Amino acid sequence: MVKKIREIARKLLEEGKVDVVLGYEKGTEPLSERPFVARTVEEVERLTYSPFAIQNLATYLPRFNNNKVAILARGCTTRAINVLISEGQIERDKIYVIGIPCNGVIKTRELRESIGEEIEDVSIQNGEIVIKTTTEEKKVKFEDWLNISCKYCEYPNPLFYDVLVGEEVKPRGGGYPDVEDYEKLDEDKRWEIFEAEMSKCVRCYACRQSCPMCYCEHCFVDSTEPRWVEPGFDKTDLESWHLIRVLHMAGRCVDCGTCELVCPEGVKLLFLTRKVARDLKRDFDYVSGLNPEKPPFFGEFRYDDKGDFIL
Amino acid sequence: MADYEPKILTILCNWCSYAGADLAGTSRIQYPSNIRVVRVPCSGRVNPQFIVKALRDGVDAVWISGCHPGDCHYITGNYFARRRFYVLKDLLEYVGLEKGRIHFSWVSASEGKRFADIATLVTEEVKKLGPRKKFVKRR
Amino acid sequence: MKRVPLSELERIYEALKSYGSVWVRKKNAYETAETPEELLSTVSKVKKPAKFIFLPEEEPLLAFVQDGKNVTFQEVIREAKGVIFGIPPCEAKAISLLDLNFLQGEGEDIYYKKRRENVLLFGLACLAPDSRCFCTTFGYGPFTESFTDIFGVVVDDVLLFEGITEKGKDLVKNLDVEDAKGEELKKLEAMKKEITERVKKLDIQGIQEKLARMMDSEIWDKISSSCLGCGACTYYCPTCYCFDIQDVERPNWGYRLRTWDSCMFTLYTLEGSGHNPRPELKYRWRNRLMHKFNYYPVLYQEFGCVGCGRCIEVCPVNIDIREILMEVKNEPIRA
Ligand code: SF4
Ligand code: SF4
Ligand code: SF4
Ligand code: SF4
Ligand code: SF4
Ligand code: FES
């Protein structure tokens, strides 16, 4: 797979079809497959790919608007591209999509932190992640460390591509059992968990910055008039930040999981975004990023939209 | 709890619900004084963020009212609003905020009685819940 | 050097306690210890560095109340008093770098000072440098005692320690502990050599001068191309100290709040007019590196990085400052 990716990237750059290739390279941290922008044929040799590549690369597209770009894209990356097109942020013609059927990505930060020892080497073999530390070899199940969105992903295959690397995979699917489990908890318990999660937030905004949909030049959280979120670390402000962010994501979030996976404090965020995604799908038959021609969820309505909650 | 007088931020669209409130007033129909009215051009003007901010700023509950579907002065404003409110209400209840802290209604300009009835209903429900313990800012 | 067996740490705990809070290393942050056993933390690198004791994530500076035409102000100073037990040399050095910025001349910051003055640093040699550590690059190492008030090393099941500053010496003087044994000191020397050598040292000779000539280099584009512009690297960095001050207003009162800020945020340099002198990520990355490897040395003859490697770990996209330093070093300078 990596060989094929490099081959394609090299050709694109050599023929001048694109200026840059957005891909991944091996990082310096254990379990890190980090974003990498290849600009030259020599740099193509650094491109790699693995389930540790957590960052949704669509996040970088708007900043390369003046270039012709090739991008490695999984299902959720293509969905993000669709949303960006539908919101007028990028143009499809300028983007060359190297499609990657996806087996899911791993919660790399959480896994790395759970090991608690120096990690020397990592490999994936027969559905297991094999982690060699200074003292032992640990094996964990691939499926156990999957990003929750990937675990139930309906669209692992790129929705469109200019070239596909590898064979299409079968979607795991499975809906939103995580959201349903949360709903079953009683009200106070739900609040307790929500509050505990949000309280961990240090307002570094890595979640926002890594999200392909958060391209706003002026984010509401930075607004001083009105002050949707006040400065400081009062729980209500941390909660407001995340609640409103999730509202901004309604019908836009493509459930890639990047926000949660990159959070340095391990704040759980997907139980919120996935809840909204579930509602939209169940109650409005709306799934984000499937069609670049479709207006955003909040930019349209149906006469028979749910209204029984209104007196 | 008997003397608990909640503050209820009430956002009314100019053309229907505000006129409905006006009618209730001129017809001398009694309704609780707990509601604090803000007039907006249309329920479509109400950003869900208003509701989150109002709660954080300390109101006990929020009630939003606009024209009946089909009657919006701007034709479709309330249809757009309906979607937003749905998502917000469900999200807030999902994270564990008590049901009954946010209310929505459609009240027309001629429904003075209905306005007063809903104001009473909302106030009573919020009174039953008591002072808010969740999502209260420390300072 | 004094000695106290790890099984008898209560002998020093009470003395530390009499000084105020005793902060110890927990996985995520320094926390106050309730029992002597907690001194025996096995965490080698605390995620949130000890700087947060001196520069908390939020801190009210003053409160104001309006009563008719009268406005009254009240200064709020959050004090801290106690001992940070087990702070490693890198973090202690980082605090000495913060001191340069917060305790000198016009820039003196009373809020910082009130805490800094009353908190002793009981350092411990770092016995398990990890793959991200490059402290020896900066002329010190995992056994450097000079930035602490008291410095200790755990050798087998004994804690060896000595007072470094006057304050530290005073505290040690009053403790009921014995002198270290000869063989323990010998072992310490061997450990020091072995562990210090484990740290990968970078050669950054001449970086300050080189950077001075690189304001317009194309390298900043390359360096910042995968950066997301979040605050993670700077928030967790023990030497970063940028803050923001905002007023929070209520109908008849309000308060002035200081919170963390980061030079990696767009908003950091955004001016009221809408103009932003650092409009793109590359300028922010340039500032971050320049601040640590050029401005700091120019101002204080010290690098503004201690080589702890935290930024490497917390960065969502694993941007590695070591690689960047090497890139800067190898970048040819255009005439
Ligand atoms: S990445 Fe995590 S800590 Fe940072 S702002 Fe988002 S939730 Fe908070
Ligand atoms: S909110 Fe999170 S899961 Fe949704 S698109 Fe953004 S990064 Fe992906
Ligand atoms: S949270 Fe909302 S306002 Fe902020 S960047 Fe994301 S979409 Fe924009
Ligand atoms: S820049 Fe990075 S390595 Fe240097 S002191 Fe800060 S966090 Fe540590
Ligand atoms: S943590 Fe990484 S992505 Fe975030 S600003 Fe720092 S270097 Fe950029
Ligand atoms: S004008 Fe009343 S809802 Fe639009």
Boundaries of every domain in chain B: 8-129
Answer whether C62's CB lies under 8 Å from C75's CB. yes
For chain A positions 94-113, those within 8 Å of chain B (CB to CB) are none
- C221 interface with A at CB cutoff 8 Å: no
Protein residue closest via CA to atom 6 of ligand 2: A211
Which among C47, C262, C320 is the nearest to A28, CB-wise? Answer: C320
The CA B18 to ligand 6 mean position distance, Å, reads: 10
**A262 CA from centroid of ligand 6 (Å):** 42
Which residue type occupies A163?
V
Whether C312 and C177 map to the same domain: the answer is no
Residue C155 and residue C174 share a domain: yes
Query: Which 128-187 residues of chain C touch chain A by CB within 8 A?
Result: 130-132
Rounded CA-CA distance C64/C72 in Å is: 6
Q: Identity (one letter) of the amino acid at B117?
A: D
Of A28, A35, A202, the CB nearest to C226: A35
Q: How high is the pLDDT of residue C335?
A: 55
Residue finishing a domain among C149, C172, C196? C196
User: CA-to-CA distance for B9 and A275, rounded, in angstroms?
Assistant: 27
Chain A residues within an 8 Å CB radius of B134 = 191, 195
ipTM attached to this prediction:
0.94
Q: A209 alpha carbon to ligand 1 midpoint, in Å? A: 10
Q: Which residues of A fall within a CB distance of 8 Å from B135?
A: 236, 239
Q: Whose CA is nearest to atom 6 of ligand 3?
A: A214
Residue range(s) defining the domain that contains residue C216: 207-330
Same domain assignment for residues C149 and C35? yes
Mutate to test the pocket of ligand 4, among C132, C136, C321, C328 (most ligand atoms within 8 A of CB): C321
Lookup: tokens for A275: 């809840």
User: What ligand has the least distance to the C-alpha of C315?
Assistant: 5
Whether the predicted pLDDT of B1 surpasses 60: no
Q: Is A242 in the pocket of ligand 3 (CB under 6 A)?
A: no
- Selection from A264, A120, A113, A130 nearest residue A202 by Cα: A264
Neighbours of chain B (3+ CB pairs under 8 A): A
Q: Are B96 and B134 in contact (CB under 8 A)?
A: yes
* Lining residues, ligand 5, CB within 6 Å: C 227-230, 232-233, 264, 315-317, 319
Ligand 1 site, CB within 6 A: A 201-207, 263, 265, 267
CATH topology of domain B8-129: Rossmann fold (3.40.50)
**What's the CA angle centered on C280, arms C279 and C284, to 5 degrees?**
100
Query: Nearest-CA residue of chain C relative to A227?
Result: C248
pLDDT at B2: 61
Please state the atom number of ligand 1 nearest to the C-alpha of residue C316.
1
Same domain, C222 and C126: no
> What percent of chain A is modeled with pLDDT above 90?
93
Q: What is the pLDDT of residues A167-199, one digit of tens each?
A: 999 999 889 999 999 999 999 999 999 999 999
Cα(A95) to ligand 2 centroid in Å equals 21
Residue A16 at interface with chain B, using a CB cutoff of 8 Å: no
Testing ligand 5's pocket by substitution, the residue of A209, A211, A259 carrying the most ligand atoms inside 8 A of its CB is A209
Chain A residue with the nearest C-alpha to that of C235: A204
Domain count, chain C: 2
pTM: 0.94
Residues C308 and C142: their CA atoms lie apart, in Å, by: 10
Which of these three, C148, C172, C196, is where a domain ends?
C196
Which residues 6+ apart lie within 8 Å of A111 measured at CB?
A31, A129, A131, A140, A145
C152 bridge partner residues = C124, C161
User: CA–CA separation, C162 vs C146, rounded Å?
Assistant: 11
Alpha carbon nearest to ligand 4 atom 6, residue: C237
Based on the fold, state whether residues C176 and C243 are members of the same structural domain. no
* Residues in chain A, pLDDT under 50: none
Q: Are residues C226 and A230, on separate chains, in Cβ contact within 8 Å?
A: no
Cα–Cα distance for residue pair C121/C130, rounded to 1 Å = 22
Of C135, C106, C122, nearest in space to C53 by CA? C122
10-residue averages of pLDDT along chain C (335 residues): 93 92 94 92 91 95 94 93 97 97 90 96 95 96 97 96 96 92 95 96 94 92 94 96 94 94 90 89 94 95 96 97 95 75
User: DSSP readout, C64-87?
Assistant: EEEETTEEEEEE------EEEEEE
A287 CA → ligand 6 middle, Å: 28
B77 pocket-lining for ligand 6 (C-beta < 6 Å)? yes
Domain ranges of chain A: 2-107+146-310, 108-145
Residue C229 in contact with partner chain A when CB distance is under 8 A: yes
Residue C188 shares a structural domain with residue C212: no
CA–CA distance, A12 with A38 (Å, rounded to integer): 11
End-of-domain residue from the set C142, C175, C196: C196
Cβ–Cβ contact C331 with A under 8 A: no
Is there a domain that residue C176 lies in? Answer: yes
Length of chain B: 139
pLDDT of residue C272: 86
How many C-beta atoms lie closer than 10 Å to residue C107's C-beta? 10
